[in-house]
Amino acid sequence: MTTGFAPIPNGQAIALSAVPRLSFDGFAAQALDIIDGGGKVVQFFAIRKTTRLA
């Protein structure tokens, strides 16, 4: 299955610039497709509120 998600090895970090920018609907659809296919949600990440993505 191909998704817009970035693969992140366990215990590793990736640059913020490597994190794909997905619409909420696109993110939700891909996440649900993975879960429907037997996948699991295994990582969460966050950025500081003061960080600008634009």
Task: Tell me: pLDDT of 45 over 70.
Answer: no
- pTM comes to 0.59
Q: Where residue 53 falls among pLDDT bands split at 50, 70, 90?
A: low
Greater pLDDT, 32 or 50: 32
User: Do 4 and 19 touch, CB atoms closer than 8 A?
Assistant: no
Express each pLDDT in 7-37 by its tens digit: 788 888 888 888 888 888 988 898 899 899 9
Q: Which residues does 1 contact at the CB level (< 8 Å), separation at least 6? A: 33, 34, 37
